[in-house]
Structure 1
Amino acid sequence: MKKYLLIISAFMYMVNISAQKLIYQNYYKADSLLKVVTKNYIVNDQLIYSGFTYSMGHYSFPEQQISYPIIYSLSSLNKKFILDKELIYNGKAYNSTMVFIGDSCSYNDFGEKEIKKVSLNGNEFSYFYLPINVVNIIKENRSSLHFINVDDEYYSLGFNNLLGNKFYITVDKNTQLISKITQLKYDDLYGDTYQEILYANYKNNIPYDITVNHNQIVKAAFHLDSVGVKKPSIKVDSISNDISKETISKGLFIIKLNDYNNKILVTEHEDFLAIYEAPINVAVGNEIISFLQKHFNNKPIKYCFLSHHHPDHAGAISSFVNVNAKVVTTKGNVNYFDKLSKSIHTLKGEGFHPSKYNANYIIIDSLSEKTFFKKSSTSVIVYESGATTDHTNEFLYFYFPKQKILFVGDLVIFPKEKIRDQKKRALSVYTLIKSKKLKVEKIYTGWPLKDQKEFGTITDLKNSLLKSYPDLK
């Protein structure tokens, strides 16, 4: 027995030595390649780029982007890296500055005057707009450097920064210059994804074209205009998940997501539930499901009605596809919702994997209407009229004829304190009520929640429109 134990011990020792040798070999190989790359980069006082930044917000169709002209000034001063941005919006210039000093970061957003310290975590990717900064961070965290792979044109290295975040660089074998840096990241909407910076069109070892991609979508693209010296635009030294339920009618409930400033509507049927809106992301969606299971005796959610595609109304669609709920939406959202419902979320929280179910859609055609649950006390008529909203190309309204309640997502607001003048979005609600001759006593919304009335009336709606539409009847 002793003999066998000695043999096993000797074998394990050799395996350990072999593993250590592989680690050393990998590191030295990566380090030798880094030394070659390092020689190709020098510090420039300032590089000025111009191009466009792309905003993807609450626009007319899924993943629509709007571009804004922007100038980037990248400066290195006394071990400080300063990123000045000048954004042109409606013909007016707005400035923003980020300052990186060692392991600290200071920042002011567009339009703000004072620069404040912020967490480096989550902002460090902007530091890598200059590839020499990538090299410097690798050198400061050399023990994390490792070789990944090589092909005919490129080789790849990986490293961690001081926060422990992992990055990967791709180096062109011919030029020995960095062509790309990538970071695996988590996005509340897209799940497990990555962000990357592409460096191209090098001249004198300076990248003349830089592209920043988030979630495989272009976030910014800019071209080098000049190399020079310029003072920074700002003085750098100044540097529960509470959910509640309210009954609004028999079998009809408003669920308030107090931490998220959102609401959803729920109808209870004999052996299932239907929800109206699925806001924010899968984490919030899972919270909603747990809450509903607790308060409605584990009744299954069989229907998920979505007014439109914006994340604060449909970002949690994956959670409800995961429980095999039928999704009531419009044709233009299907591909986008398929993309979201198949996203994997493991880099944040408890993790989420798409289920075996494919999204089961019920499509409401443009300018059409469809009645659901006709025999139920909470029957609903769904109207599509996105073209009138000036908000999204497609939009669904939900009318409960027996309760005389209309649920309209975020097309109108009803502040507690005073009437707020409103325009086309609210007008579309008024037009629907009048054109369809709906008997409406209460208008509920899915957003916002804070400082709002519980519901609005047709009188409230009309009064909010009279300033913009004085001839309204």
Structure 2
Amino acid sequence: MPFVICLLFSWFLLPIDSAPAVASDPLLICWNNQVKPLQNRFVQLSYQEQRNELEHSAEPWQQTPYQASGTIWVNATNFRQIDTLRNTTRNRTSFTKTQADTQTLLVKHGDDKLTSVSRAMLDEHPLTAARYSPIRLIEYAYQHHLRPDSASSTNQATCYRTTINQTVISLFIRRADGLLDRATLLAPDDMLGDVLTTLTYQDYAAVGPSQQPTRVIVDKVNGKVRDQVRLTQSIVTDQAPTLLDTPADYRLDMTPTPVATARSEKYSDHVYFVTLPHTDDRVMLVEFTDFVLVAEAPLNSENGELIIQQAHQLIPDKPIRYFVFGHHHPHYLGGVRPFVHKGATILCSPGNDDYVTYLVQAPHRLKPDSLAMAPKPLKLEAVGARKTITDGQFSMDIYHIGSQSAHTSDYLIYYFPSEQLLFQDDLVWIPKTGKPTRISTRQTGLYRAIQQLGIPVRTVIQSWPVADMGVKTEIPFAELAASVDSK
């Protein structure tokens, strides 16, 4: 979720000016137009939404389309929503109810129990609700007495800026009519860096005594993804239905963020594995005569730094020459940036160079990592169909099996001829107990790829998941073959 990042970051660091709004203040005018006339009543509206998400897709930046529809009741302090969401690719439908005020946030998916909600989720709900209605966001700005930011205001709009948790919010109120034109949300993303979302409010109409938009354009991920929301059948009503009952023992989830830890093991003379329990990942370190290769780094730069620390402890005095990731999903590529900072060459599949370059060059000013504080040039090398890494005595082969994985187009696997060992990311799903009830296409794809390559494999080791999914992650090849042949 293009933008002037250096200015935004400087504003993020400065204290926010606040003072009571005065009659000529565009924020007060906006509040009088869009919020105050409702008093304690609700705007009830129906919506149709075209939504796109970046998920665990076959290609980087590939979007998964959704269609959503539902009803919302909203005023200055309350938000209630009944939502039906359909994945148009897989033809799957889900249902969600949401009920929020200033003290509680209740979310229920289908017939499941209430979703656990953190303080951050409650604090940031006005931002979540803003894709359908700006009412709660305008109320937040008004109650916090925000003052105009002259540096980012224009002849057409006055800007007001504040921060909720780590998100920098900018409201742009039109001078011509005192209505909210757009809101921008700048937030840190562990993998993508400083991510900008822009919500543009269009086609205002009278809803009772207030003015409300009938169309919202949501540009996400720095403009790479766009959603559209159409709002219809808007009325003002005195009451809103109770969608969810607040439990008597309601409390916010105060579970602390898991501590980042690592557990290492020496698998053979040249191969080490580092397990990260907090992400449920296994990372591979390969020792050569005068250098080290690291395969996989999950989710974020913090984990990348932890893996580098483990590598230096296990294999001191040898530099990390290569970092390689099995495919572009966050559990394998998310921690790449510290390896660039250390000067490692990043190995990637053909066609992934633009995506890796984007991740490495993305600004991380809101949450700086080592590469943001001390930039280094990216050294990138494409693997091709096969690449052998060797010191003349020990070697490993990296194969590009791509779409044969039935998962992504860039999929790499790692093979050690002297040990008949194959390491891969997430293709084998054989339960630890009992017989497989369904053989995944990924599993079959890996087996067929190994057969086509003609490489003798004794053992397959998997990077993710390690413990959470109840599947084997060290699999005799004979067991993999049997699982596929039993189909």
Whether TM exceeds 0.5 here: the answer is: yes
* Larger Rg over CA atoms: 1
Calculate the aligned-residue CA RMSD, in Å. Answer: 2.8
Which of residues 390, 396, 406 is equivalent to 2:422? 406
Q: Give the superposition deviation at 1:356.
A: 3.7
Match of 1:322 in 2: 341
For the 8 Å contact 2:398–2:414, the answer to whether it is kept is yes
CA distance in 2, matches of 1:298, 1:330: 29
Evaluate the alpha carbon distance shift between residue 432 and residue 127 of structure 1 in structure 2; reply closer, same or farther with a 3 A threshold: closer
Tell me how far apart the structure 1 counterparts of residues 398 and 464 of structure 2 sit (CA, whole Å).
Answer: 19
Cα pair distance change 1:166/1:310, threshold 3 Å: closer
Q: For residue 460 of structure 2, what is the aligned residue in structure 1?
A: 443
Q: Which residue of 1 aligns with 2:220?
A: 214
Question: How far is 1:268 from its partner?
Answer: 0.8
One-letter code aligned to 1:40? N
What does residue range 234-245 of structure 1 map to in structure 2 within 5 Å?
234-238=243-247, 240-245=259-264
Find the residue that maps to 2:313 and give its secondary structure.
helix
Cα distance in 1 for partners of 2:147, 2:97 equals 30
More deviation, 436-445/186-195: 186-195
Tell me, yes or no, if structure 1 residue 33 matches structure 2 residue 49: no
Aligned partners of 2:94 and 2:109 also within 8 Å? no
- TM-superposed CA distance for 1:115, in Å, is 6.1
Q: Does 1:301 find its partner at 2:315?
A: no
Structure 2, unmatched stretches of 5+, are 1-16, 251-258
User: What is the match of residue 98 of structure 1?
Assistant: 98
Q: CA-to-partner distance for each residue in 1:180-236, whole Å, 9 max, x for gaps?
A: 112221111112233332211222332111133432243632111321469658334
- Give, in whole Å, the separation in 2 of the partners of 1:139 and 1:28: 8
Partners of 1:100 and 1:127 within 8 A in 2: no
Amino acid at match of 2:138: V
Change (3 A) 1:251 1:231: same
Go from structure 1 to structure 2 and tell me whether the alpha carbon gap of 1:122 and 1:32 turns closer, same or farther (over 3 Å shift). closer
User: Counterpart of 2:192?
Assistant: 190
Contact 1:94 1:111 in 2 (8 A): no
The residue number in structure 2 matching 1:471 is none
The aligned amino acid for 1:385 is: I
Q: Distance in 2 between matches of 1:381 and 1:334?
A: 20
CA contact (8 A) 2:201 2:216 kept: yes
State the match for 1:382 in structure 2. 398
Segment drifting more, 109-118 vs 352-361:
109-118
Equivalent residue letter for 1:159: T
C-alpha displacement at 1:146, in angstroms? 3.8
1:83/1:218 CA distance change after superposition, 3 Å: farther
Comparing 65-74 with 303-312, which one deviates more in the overlay? 65-74
Structure 1 residue runs without a partner (length 5+): 1-22, 469-473
Shift of 1:312: 0.6
- Contact 1:251 1:267 survives alignment (8 Å): yes
* Corresponding letter in the other structure for 2:281: N
Pair 446,183 (structure 1): closer, same or farther in 2 beyond 3 Å: same
Aligned match for 2:234, one of 219, 223, 227: 227
Structure 1 residue 29 displacement after superposition: 6.9
Asked whether the equivalents of residues 288 and 391 of structure 2 are also in contact (C-alpha less than 8 Å), the reply is no
Q: Check 1:78–1:431 CA distance in 2 against 1; reply closer, same or farther (3 A cut).
A: closer
Distance 1:419 1:280, change over 3 A: farther
Name the counterpart of 2:359. 340
- Aligned equivalents of 2:241, 2:85: Cα separation in 1: 15
Corresponding letter in the other structure for 1:136: E
Distance 1:453 1:298, change over 3 A: farther
Is 2:294–2:322's contact at 8 Å kept on the other side of the alignment? yes
Q: Aligned with 2:352: secondary structure?
A: helix
How far apart are the structure 1 equivalents of 2:327 and 2:52?
A: 22
Contact 1:327 1:360 in 2 (8 A): yes
Cα displacement (A) at 1:169: 0.2
Q: Is the 8 A contact 2:322 2:344 kept in 1?
A: yes
Residues 37-436 of structure 1 aligned to structure 2 (within 5 Å): 37-41=30-34, 42-43=37-38, 44-76=42-74, 79-89=77-87, 90-91=90-91, 93-109=93-109, 112-114=112-114, 118-119=118-119, 120-129=122-131, 130-142=133-145, 144-148=146-150, 149-160=152-163, 166-204=168-206, 205-216=211-222, 217-218=224-225, 220-228=227-235, 232=241, 234-238=243-247, 240-348=259-367, 353=372, 355-365=374-384, 368-373=385-390, 375-377=392-394, 379-420=395-436, 421-436=438-453
The corresponding residue for 1:8 is none
Do the aligned partners of 2:106 and 2:115 also contact (CA within 8 Å) in 1?
yes
Report how far residue 59 of structure 1 moved.
0.6
Q: Cα–Cα, structure 1 residues 31 and 390, in superposed 2: closer, same or farther, change >3 Å?
A: farther
Whole-Å Cα distance in 2 between the matches of residues 211 and 188 of structure 1? 25
Task: Indicate if the aligned counterparts of 1:247 and 1:254 stay in contact, CA closer than 8 A.
Answer: yes
Distance 1:406 1:61 in 2: 24
Q: Which moved more, 1:295-304 or 1:459-468?
A: 459-468
**1:348 Cα shift?**
3.9
8 Å contact kept, 1:99–1:107: yes
**Is the 8 Å Cα contact of residues 54 and 66 (structure 1) preserved in structure 2?**
yes
Is the Cα contact below 8 Å between 1:413 and 1:448 reproduced in 2?
no
Deviation at 1:302, TM superposition (A): 0.6
* Separation in 2, partners of 1:320, 1:159: 34
Ranked by relative contact order (alpha carbons within 8 Å, sequence separation 6 or more), the top structure is 2
The one-letter code of the counterpart of 1:215 is V
C-alpha contact (below 8 Å) 2:286/2:292 kept by paired residues = yes
Q: In the TM superposition, what is the alpha-carbon distance from 1:358 to its structure 2 partner?
A: 2.4
How many Å separate the matches in 2 of 1:219 and 1:417?
44
Counterpart Cα distance in 2 of 1:436 and 1:160:
54
Q: 1:151 to 1:347 in 2, by over 3 A?
A: closer
C-alpha distance in 2, partners of 1:372/1:96?
50
CA shift for structure 1 position 301: 0.8
Q: Provide the rounded CA distance (Å) in 2 between the counterparts of 1:430 and 1:209.
A: 49
